[in-house]
Chain A
Amino acid sequence: MNQITLREALRDAMAEEMRADPNVFVMGEEVAEYQGAYKVTQGLLEEFGSKRVVDTPITEHGFAGLGVGAAMGGLRPIVEFMTFNFAMQAIDQIINSAAKTKYMSGGLIKCPIVFRGPNGSAARVGAQHSQCYASWYSHIPGLTVISPYFASDAKALLKAAIKYDSPVIFLEHELLYGNSFPDEDKEVEIGKANIVTEGSDVTITTFSLQVRNAIKAAEELSKEGISVEIIDLLTLRPLDRETIINSVKKTNRLVTVEEGWAFAGIGASIGAIIMEEAFDYLDAPIINIAAKDVPLPYAANLEKLALPQVEDIIKACREVCFRSK
């Protein structure tokens, strides 16, 4: 099977949608002339011109608001944030202007906008440039939050997001842009999780970069006789509760893995849902793997220690499966 990098898959998704619908356009810092801060939008300016691929000044609040207005006016903007750390500058536009308007207008005003960009850690970029915003945006009714891992999922979901009539937060990961994945065309429904590997002893729910760690952990654990089922959440809001619950009913054990911090995080929410809806199926407490409760360190060794590693996942799975001899 052919391989494709994540950045190429994302670019292809945007290009295909831009070809199909003249109302789709991209804007953000460095997306046009520079071919994208991470080269995700490479080649788009050449194909679609400067009216459809728009360089913005360094004013997130400004161009986010501009995008929301454009969406409400009938266009379908893709707004790129250089990282979602910078989107905090624009968060009022994202939450109050984009997310809540359909509800507040009784459904009359729709806002078909996609906010996309890298989320979470990079390599030694310091605390202010490394936060994971998955739980912040997943908290808001009115937003759809997507965070894929595999390139094929990313492409399918970005296309679906562009076609979607409500605001979508599309969380990518800088450390994955250059990774090659199998190139396959597939349809992925927003709101459906994917079972990456099937297992019978413990369920891992995770998303984005941590999927890679989960897969490595599962390989190691299978040598110890622990069979791991990995669920790639794909869409964080709305969460595919059914897939998770069915999996826990099968394995009776759950380990949630995320890059963000534990408190008020994705894992905490999943844990609460499972405790409420699958209580009688739990044979062990749910363990939540998350970043250590500190702003992410800058030093490489500390950064590694602060973020979830494969070993943490392995230990957690062993713990929930523990039986004394």
Chain B
Amino acid sequence: MPIKILMPALSPTMTEGNLVKWHKKVGDKVKSGDLLAEIETDKATMEVEAVDEGIIGKLVVEEGAQGVAINSVIAVLLEKGEDKSVLDAMDFEIPKPTVTETNLEVKAEPASIVNEEPKTQFTSNSNNSKEHIFASPLAKRIASDQNINLNNVLGTGPHGRILKADVLASSKSSTSSHEGPIVRIAQEYKTIANSNIRKVIARRLSESKQNVPHTYLSIDCNVDKLLELRHDINHARSADVNAVRVSVNDIIIKAVALTLKQVPEANSAWTDEAILQYNNIDISVAVSIDGGLITPIIFNADQKSIFTISKEVKELAAKARAGTLKPHEFQGGGFSISNLGMYGIKQFNAIVNHPQSCILAVGANIPTPIVKNNKIEIANILCVTLSSDHRSLDGAMSAKFLQSFKEIIENPVRLLLGY
């Protein structure tokens, strides 16, 4: 019996194909596995191999034929011993649509093939008229209940049918239940115009970073006693409703001021001919405001009590955020302090506030295991980093500053004594 070779369905959506090229001609022997033809589908051009064996009796469809329906006869193989004459008796009508072997072999992949706009409702079949999603009634119900798009689910049932287990696996695997197609915004960027303060920060900090040779020294301070002191201060004043709470930073400002009395070299400015050592201890305190950063000044901090410092810092910060700081309130200063401890930052290197020589970067206080008397204890450790202009301060001088600062901070009774 001559064997009819049919146009195979090479994908679940294929309804017709183009016969691009025959690799065999009439009279050629065909073995199973031989390349028969190249067929162009709606998606790609695929090579089709022979399943049966025999001799090509007739190529029913010509090379280049377009729109050949699947399951229509494209060629006829003669079995061993058959003569061409048997072909005359055959008719080459398109057989009734039945599931052929080739259809069964192709696993349906409803998910990946066509990525149409994901639709979450499945009640109307017309939505998917281009491509029918095979899913069991149970799977469809579960998907609809859980808002899962069946287009994104891989089916493991027969013929790639989506089953309940597939839908459940899909909902478990993606925490964001559907990753839709990636949306790329055409406009590459938003244009945020630079405010004046932004421009000033940019200019000044670039200038500083490029022109000032920075050195960075860090030291860890045990602030257990400091925290106790702060607690006691605030507790003592708790009865007074007008009393403002003193923060660790307020105390640090005072400590820095006292340190500068001992190490006045750190309170200076470099010029080519001379180092200008300031006679007053004015501390610039970095305050974060909307869209930028500003450094209001605590003048003569060494002479002010912690309470005064605390009060002034709060007032200045409020003014800074309101944008009502006067120039004389933030222009000047001999030494800067920047504190990012409230963000949990352990350690950082600040940029020197030129023409000043130094800036102290204060980190968060972190309970840390330390060794004391050969035993491990937990202490609150605060890391401070001094960025210095190496032209004004050599490394040793910076180290001296930090050493003195640490001494005061770790023995806060020194704040009482004033040195």
Q: Which residues on A are within 8 Å of B, measured CB to CB?
A: 252, 279-284, 319, 322-325
Chain B contact residues: helix, strand, loop or mixed: helix
Is the CB–CB distance between A322 and B158 below 8 Å? yes
Interface centre among B141, B163, B165 (most CB of A within 10 A): B163
Chain B: CB-nearest residue to A322: B158
Q: Is B136 an interface residue (CB 8 A)?
A: yes
Given contacts A281-B138, A324-B107, 15 further A-B contacts (CB under 8 A): A252-B138, A279-B137, A280-B137, A280-B138, A281-B137, A283-B136, A283-B163, A284-B163, A319-B158, A323-B156, A323-B157, A323-B163, A323-B165, A324-B157, A325-B156
Is the CB–CB distance between B138 and A282 below 8 Å? yes
Closest-CB distance, B184 to chain A (whole angstroms): 35
- A325 CB contacts on chain B under 8 angstroms: 156
Is the CB–CB distance between B138 and A283 below 8 Å? yes
A252–B140 Cα distance when bound, in Å, is 13
Is the CB–CB distance between B157 and A252 below 8 Å? no
A312–B107 Cα distance when bound, in Å, is 26
- A280 CB contacts on chain B under 8 angstroms: 137-138, 140-141
A282–B137 Cα distance when bound, in Å, is 6
Can you report 7 residue pairs joining A to B where beta carbons are below 8 Å apart?
A: A281-B138, A282-B136, A282-B137, A283-B136, A283-B139, A322-B157, A325-B156
Is the CB–CB distance between A284 and B136 below 8 Å? yes
- A283 CB contacts on chain B under 8 angstroms: 136-139, 163-164
Closest-CB distance, B145 to chain A (whole angstroms): 10
- B107 CB contacts on chain A under 8 angstroms: 324
**Size of interface on B: residues with Cβ below 8 Å to A:** 13
A281–B164 Cα distance when bound, in Å, is 9
A195–B156 Cα distance when bound, in Å, is 30
Is the CB–CB distance between B138 and A324 below 8 Å? no
- A324 CB contacts on chain B under 8 angstroms: 107, 156-157
Interface centre among A281, A283, A322 (most CB of B within 10 A): A283
- B139 CB contacts on chain A under 8 angstroms: 283
Q: A252-B164, A323-B165, A324-B107 are in contact. Are A284 and B141 (CB under 8 A)?
A: no
Interface centre among B107, B136, B164 (most CB of A within 10 A): B136
Residues of B121-141 at the interface with A, using a CB-CB cut-off of 8 Å, are: 136-141
- B137 CB contacts on chain A under 8 angstroms: 279-283
- B138 CB contacts on chain A under 8 angstroms: 252, 280-283
A283–B136 Cα distance when bound, in Å, is 5
- A281 CB contacts on chain B under 8 angstroms: 137-138
A325–B164 Cα distance when bound, in Å, is 15
Closest-CB distance, A164 to chain B (whole angstroms): 38
Chain A: CB-nearest residue to B135: A283
Closest-CB distance, A317 to chain B (whole angstroms): 14
Chain B: CB-nearest residue to A282: B137
A284–B158 Cα distance when bound, in Å, is 9
- A284 CB contacts on chain B under 8 angstroms: 136, 157, 163
A280–B139 Cα distance when bound, in Å, is 8
A267–B138 Cα distance when bound, in Å, is 21
Closest-CB distance, A276 to chain B (whole angstroms): 12
A281–B137 Cα distance when bound, in Å, is 7
Chain A: CB-nearest residue to B145: A280
Closest-CB distance, B258 to chain A (whole angstroms): 75
A323–B164 Cα distance when bound, in Å, is 11
Residues of B155-191 at the interface with A, using a CB-CB cut-off of 8 Å, are: 156-158, 163-165
A171–B351 Cα distance when bound, in Å, is 98
Closest-CB distance, A124 to chain B (whole angstroms): 37
A323–B158 Cα distance when bound, in Å, is 7
Closest-CB distance, B358 to chain A (whole angstroms): 68
A279–B138 Cα distance when bound, in Å, is 7
- B141 CB contacts on chain A under 8 angstroms: 280
Residues of B170-218 at the interface with A, using a CB-CB cut-off of 8 Å, are: none
Chain A: CB-nearest residue to B154: A324
- B163 CB contacts on chain A under 8 angstroms: 283-284, 323
Chain A: CB-nearest residue to B138: A283
Chain B: CB-nearest residue to A325: B156
A155–B165 Cα distance when bound, in Å, is 43
- B156 CB contacts on chain A under 8 angstroms: 323-325
A324–B137 Cα distance when bound, in Å, is 19
Report, nearest first, the 6 A-B pairs whose CB atoms are least far apart: A280-B141, A323-B156, A283-B138, A283-B136, A324-B156, A283-B164
- A252 CB contacts on chain B under 8 angstroms: 138, 164
Closest-CB distance, B252 to chain A (whole angstroms): 65
A214–B122 Cα distance when bound, in Å, is 37
- B165 CB contacts on chain A under 8 angstroms: 323
Closest-CB distance, B291 to chain A (whole angstroms): 57
A281–B165 Cα distance when bound, in Å, is 13
A284–B165 Cα distance when bound, in Å, is 12
Closest-CB distance, B392 to chain A (whole angstroms): 73
Interface centre among A279, A280, A319, A322 (most CB of B within 10 A): A280
A281–B140 Cα distance when bound, in Å, is 10
- A282 CB contacts on chain B under 8 angstroms: 136-138
Closest-CB distance, A320 to chain B (whole angstroms): 9
Instruction: Write the B358-397 contact mask toward A (1 if CB under 8 angstroms, else 0).
Output: 0000000000000000000000000000000000000000
Chain A: CB-nearest residue to B167: A283
- A279 CB contacts on chain B under 8 angstroms: 137
A322–B104 Cα distance when bound, in Å, is 15
Chain B: CB-nearest residue to A280: B141
Closest-CB distance, B112 to chain A (whole angstroms): 15
Interface centre among A279, A281, A323 (most CB of B within 10 A): A323
Closest-CB distance, A193 to chain B (whole angstroms): 23
A324–B163 Cα distance when bound, in Å, is 11
A282–B139 Cα distance when bound, in Å, is 8
A322–B107 Cα distance when bound, in Å, is 14
Chain A: CB-nearest residue to B140: A280
A152–B139 Cα distance when bound, in Å, is 40
